[in-house]
């Protein structure tokens, strides 16, 4: 299979790329900067910004030219932005967060849809618990994840021959989680976060069980 992942220079996206490549899949990834670890055999990286239409479109076109139609697209690129109450939100930070997390997600979907294998191709949109529950102080990030839930449903409604689901990975031990905790050690959490490699393995296994009946839903890895 050809698996294409945005924002996979680090974190869960990077772990998913590694697990998929180890399983023998062809993996195309992009990020705005170089990956934080050497690439395994089977992974090809492009430098691309999902919020810039020419950049993300070029990445997808080149990946398809190299590896063929996309079997699984993972809409993963996101930034946390600044935490705080809505009345304290700064315009520049809000725009920067929404630009990547919402505009970038939409542009990536628009660019990849013509190349997703039909019928039964799969689009996974990485969401969060804060995309369904109004958790205070998550600001523009929370709003963006509510939008991702809506995007997953919209893509499902417009493409009945494709699988489009929002995925809540739960708490995964990444740099973004550490930033969200604002200095609170993960040992202080009620339950320990999942390692990226374990979450990635669960996500890849889930892909093998998805059907059109799942399209338009939100699924949790917990």
CA distance 129 to 139: 14
Domain boundaries, the chain: 2-220
pLDDT at 188: 67
Domain 2-220: state its class: alpha beta
Tell me the pLDDT of the chain (222 aa) as tens digits.
999 999 999 999 999 999 999 999 999 999 999 998 899 999 999 999 999 999 999 999 999 999 999 999 999 999 999 999 999 999 999 999 999 999 999 999 999 999 999 999 999 999 999 999 999 999 999 999 999 999 999 999 999 999 999 999 999 999 999 999 887 776 667 788 999 999 999 999 999 999 999 999 999 998
pLDDT at 187: 67
pLDDT at 36: 83
Q: Choose among 143, 95, 122, 93: nearest CA to 203.
A: 122
Instruction: For strands 2-5 and 72-75, give the pairing.
Output: parallel
pLDDT at 112: 98
CA distance 190 to 121: 37
What are the C-alpha distances in Å from 117 to residues 120, 183, 192, 210?
7, 43, 37, 15
pLDDT at 182: 85
Contact criterion met (CB below 8 Å) for 179 and 136? no
Q: Which residues fall within 8 angstroms of residue 98, CB to CB, at 6 or more apart?
A: 140, 143, 144
């Amino acid at each position: 299979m050809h698996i294409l992942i945005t924002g996979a220079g680090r974190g869960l996206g990077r772990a998913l790329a590694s697990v998929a490549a180890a399983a023998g899949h062809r993996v195309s990834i992009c990020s705005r900067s170089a990956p934080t670890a050497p690439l395994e055999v089977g992974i090809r990286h492009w430098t691309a910004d999902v919020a810039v239409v020419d950049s993300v479109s070029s990445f997808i076109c080149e990946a398809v030219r190299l590896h063929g139609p996309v079997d699984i697209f993972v809409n993963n690129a996101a930034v946390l932005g600044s935490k705080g109450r809505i009345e304290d939100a700064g315009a520049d930070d809000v725009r920067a967060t929404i630009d990547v997390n919402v505009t970038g997600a939409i542009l990536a979907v628009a660019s990849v849809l013509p190349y997703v294998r039909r019928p039964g191709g799969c689009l996974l949109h990485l969401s969060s618990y804060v995309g369904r529950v109004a958790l205070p102080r998550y600001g523009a990030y929370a709003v963006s994840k509510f939008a991702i839930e809506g995007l997953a449903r919209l893509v499902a409604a417009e493409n009945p021959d494709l699988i489009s689901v929002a995925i809540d990975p739960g708490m995964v031990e990444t740099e973004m989680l550490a930033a969200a905790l604002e200095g609170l050690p993960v040992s202080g959490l009620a339950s320990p976060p999942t390692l990226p490699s374990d979450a990635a393995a669960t996500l890849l296994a889930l892909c093998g069980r998805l059907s059109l009946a799942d399209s338009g839903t939100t699924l949790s890895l917990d």
